[in-house]
A and B are shown apart, each in its own frame.
Chain A
Amino acid sequence: MWGIVAAVAVAGITAMLIVGIANKNVSHALDEAVARGDRPAAPDFALPVLSPGGVVKGPEGRTVSLKDLRGKVVVLNFWASWCDPCRDEAPLLQALADRQARNGVVVLGVDIQDGSDAAKKFLRTYGVTYPSLRDRNDDTKNAYAATGVPETFVIDKAGRVAFIHRSTLAADQLDELDRIVAGVAREKTTPEM
């Protein structure tokens, strides 16, 4: 009987180790694939609207998924109202959203670990008109292995990650991001629905 108990315990510990190692690999998988020049599938999500805008229609609380945006280039930005660098970054992303709107690009904020009132106040304060969703339980943050805010992902029309920027977007990096997004928007990718 004790043999069985010991075997179960060993199997449990082994399983936890495997899951841990697998998760560790997942956390770097997107970055490694993009660094290789691949386009890994962007983790799907279904999140409530915090603030509608453009193709992301309201009302607040309506669920929007990444699949709903297939066929469009999505610039996914994780942010929070308490995040100081996000305050500097928001106007840059707004400029990007304005410049790229004609190319059908959707700049989409994902607010994390935040109170909804504070988040909406942030959007008003910084004049953000691009839409934002709310990731209340960190599922999407974890799926993208975001370790903090802000982090930005460019997702192509087929729902694949084309570019990752895991830190604050500086003013002198806006033009480069603009070029990358414009390039991805020009691609004639058939959406994988």
Chain B
Amino acid sequence: MLRRVLIAVAALLMLGLPAAALADEVRGVDVQSLERELRCPTCNGPLAVSDSPAADQIKQKIRDMAADGKTSDQIKAALVADFGREILADPPKEGFDLVAWLVPSLGVLAGLAVIPFLTRRWARRGGRDTPAPVAAASPEELDRLEAELRARDGED
């Protein structure tokens, strides 16, 4: 009985562990979410997965600011002011940076728009390439063929 209880408790703890591990909050700031929104300046990858010295320094700065009571937005704004907008993993959806969001979407839309055109074009080309069905010979044509063959035999 005791063994079952211990196993159940262990299972519950294991279920709870990932959630506890993921919830990395400092005074209400979800540090890991914030790190996913930022970029490591030396390796250009997401800050959350980078362990470069520069990334570690920024991560510590985030924690320090959160401990000082700054909100997530205030921390992000402070980092942008210090490092520039290049620190953001995704460009903001405003001004010239909108291009980074619009161009891929426009590309997809252009690709979708071209599909019907290409399909019709390929269908037409397919129609031209298929050989026309051979019509069955009429009785008159068969008679004429037979007469011509007979005449040819006669010549030989």
**B-side contacts of A83, CB under 8 Å:** 53
Q: Name B57's contact: one of A82, A84, A136 (CB within 8 Å).
A: A82
Could you tell me which residues of chain A, from 80 to 103, have a CB within 8 Å of some CB in chain B?
Answer: 80-84
| Chain A positions 110 through 121: 1 when the CB is less than 8 Å from some CB of chain B, otherwise 0 | 000111111000
Sort chain A's interface into a size bin: 10 to 19
Identify whether the interface residues of B are mostly helix, strand, loop, or mixed: helix
- The answer on a CB contact under 8 Å between B61 and A82 is no
**B-side contacts of A118, CB under 8 Å:** 57, 61
Sort chain B's interface into a size bin: 10 to 19
**B-side contacts of A190, CB under 8 Å:** none
| Chain A positions 63 through 86: 1 when the CB is less than 8 Å from some CB of chain B, otherwise 0 | 000000000000000001111100
- The answer on a CB contact under 8 Å between A136 and B84 is yes
A84 to B83, CA, bound (A): 21
- The answer on a CB contact under 8 Å between A113 and B82 is no
| A84-B53, A113-B41 known; A137-B58 Cβ under 8 A | no
- The answer on a CB contact under 8 Å between B84 and A82 is no
Identify whether the interface residues of A are mostly helix, strand, loop, or mixed: loop
The smallest beta-carbon distance between B106 and chain A, in angstroms, is 16
**A-side contacts of B42, CB under 8 Å:** 113
| A113-B41, A113-B42 known; A137-B57 Cβ under 8 A | no
- The answer on a CB contact under 8 Å between A115 and B82 is yes
B86 within 8 Å of A (CB atoms): yes
**A-side contacts of B83, CB under 8 Å:** 115, 136
**B-side contacts of A81, CB under 8 Å:** 57
Which residue on chain B has the smallest CB distance to residue A118? B57
- A interface list, Cβ under 8 A from B: 80-84, 113-118, 136-137
